[in-house]
């Protein structure tokens, strides 16, 4: 399928839509927040940086929500605040994430990349589950997860999610969590089938941001004077996120992984392993204490 391209996208009115977006304080998250707000959406921007999140929220005329995904207590508090502030949620954009080095363990006892990129968005999605389902009873709801083509280099081992038995590298840990984002999305579509909630994951492209600046290998590209020739802008990277959140046909968002605007992007063979997807969901539920195996109520 040919990339639809930004020029072919419509600008759907998002008036009265509530859009929750994590990782909104910079990069593609900030770009998406601004553009969706410009279309009329009530944007709920979430970030880790107090200064950047406050500046963005002020420009949108909303209050900032601050949360560090390396702390699951903060994720739970975040969910409570969202539920208290908003009677409905039309779009959830799980966009926060990063590449972290050196290897570290969170206050919850998990490898940082695993928790920030997978466990935290898994927990947040499930904590917002009932509100998402209730909202979907009147209008279609979307859950979009930011993944990466790096998933091709990932390998999920349920017996070693924290990389204690394997040689750890920042990139391999990152790639594996991006694969988890795709697997989680597909299992979410399966478990939440019939709820009027559409879901997809996507690769935004190689974006010229500083998300991987702590990695010397990735930093060679991201700090290169040729960065802007090798990578696309944050605005270009945000285009698929905006399109999936608003303009894409809901019927096509069936857990599919998009490479920018193209369906069925290149993915690891593990991305299509239904047994692995179910097992990863159950293991993630155990680690985050959600205890929520299904969304059908």
Domains of the chain by start residue, with CATH: 6-205+234-286 (3.40.50.720)
Q: Are strands 197-203 and 254-259 parallel, antiparallel or unpaired?
A: parallel
What is the Cα–Cα distance from 202 to 35, expressed in whole angstroms?
A: 18
Q: Given this model, what pLDDT does residue 295 score? A: 38
Q: Given this model, what pLDDT does residue 86 score? A: 98
Q: Given this model, what pLDDT does residue 296 score? A: 36
β-partners of residue 17 are none
What is the Cα–Cα distance from 74 to 189, expressed in whole angstroms?
A: 26
Does residue 167 contact residue 118 with C-beta atoms inside 8 Å?
no
Torsion of CA 164, 165, 171, 174, to 10 degrees: -60
Q: Given this model, what pLDDT does residue 205 score? A: 82
Contacts of 275 (CB under 8 A, 6+ apart): none
Strands ordered across the beta sheet of 262-263:
65-66, 42-47, 18-22, 91-94, 141-146, 197-203, 254-259, 262-263
What is the Cα–Cα distance from 43 to 63, expressed in whole angstroms?
A: 10
Residue 166 main-chain phi, psi, to 5 deg: -120, 160
Q: Given this model, what pLDDT does residue 218 score? A: 53
Q: Given this model, what pLDDT does residue 111 score? A: 98
Of 44, 39, 11, the residue nearest 25 (C-alpha): 44
Residue 141 in tokens = 């709801």
- pLDDT in single tens digits along all 297 residues of the chain: 334 444 344 567 899 999 999 999 999 999 999 999 999 999 999 999 999 999 999 999 999 999 999 999 999 999 999 999 999 999 999 999 999 999 999 999 999 999 999 999 999 999 999 999 999 999 999 999 999 999 999 999 999 999 999 999 999 999 999 999 999 999 999 999 999 999 999 999 875 555 555 544 555 545 555 455 457 687 888 999 999 999 899 989 999 999 999 999 999 999 999 999 999 999 999 999 986 544 333
DSSP single-letter state for residue 262: E
Of 231, 251, 219, the residue nearest 142 (C-alpha): 251
Catalytic residue among 174, 222, 257, 258: 174
Task: Check residue 194 and give left, alpha or beta (phi > 0: left; psi -120 to 50: alpha).
Answer: left
Has 110 been annotated as catalytic? no
Q: Given this model, what pLDDT does residue 176 score? A: 98
């Amino acid at each position: 399928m040919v990339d639809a391209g930004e020029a072919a996208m419509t600008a759907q009115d998002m008036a009265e839509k509530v859009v929750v977006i994590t990782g909104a304080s910079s990069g593609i998250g900030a770009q998406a927040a601004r553009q969706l707000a410009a279309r009329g959406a009530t944007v709920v921007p979430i970030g880790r940086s107090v200064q950047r999140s406050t500046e963005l929220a002020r420009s949108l005329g909303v209050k900032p929500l601050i949360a560090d995904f390396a702390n699951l207590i903060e994720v739970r508090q975040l969910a409570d605040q969202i539920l208290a502030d908003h009677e409905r949620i039309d779009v959830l954009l799980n966009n926060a994430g990063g590449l972290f080095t050196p290897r570290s363990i969170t206050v919850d006892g998990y490898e940082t990349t695993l928790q920030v990129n997978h466990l935290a968005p898994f927990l947040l999605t499930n904590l917002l589950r009932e509100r998402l389902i209730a909202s979907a009873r009147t209008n279609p709801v979307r859950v979009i997860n930011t993944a990466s083509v790096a998933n091709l280099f990932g390998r999920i081992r349920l017996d070693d999610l924290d990389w204690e038995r394997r040689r750890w590298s920042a990139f391999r840990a990152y790639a594996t969590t991006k694969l988890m984002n795709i697997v989680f999305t597909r299992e979410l579509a399966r478990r939440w089938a019939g709820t009027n909630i559409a879901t997809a994951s996507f690769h935004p492209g190689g974006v010229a941001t500083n998300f991987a600046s702590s990695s010397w290998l990735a930093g060679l590209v991201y700090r290169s004077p040729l960065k802007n020739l090798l990578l696309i802008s944050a605005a270009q990277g945000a285009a698929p996120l905006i399109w999936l959140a608003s303009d894409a046909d809901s019927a096509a968002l069936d857990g599919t992984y998009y490479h920018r605007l193209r369906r069925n992007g290149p993915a690891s063979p593990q991305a299509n392993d239904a047994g692995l997807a179910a097992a990863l969901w159950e293991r993630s539920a155990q680690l985050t204490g959600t205890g929520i195996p299904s969304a059908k109520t």
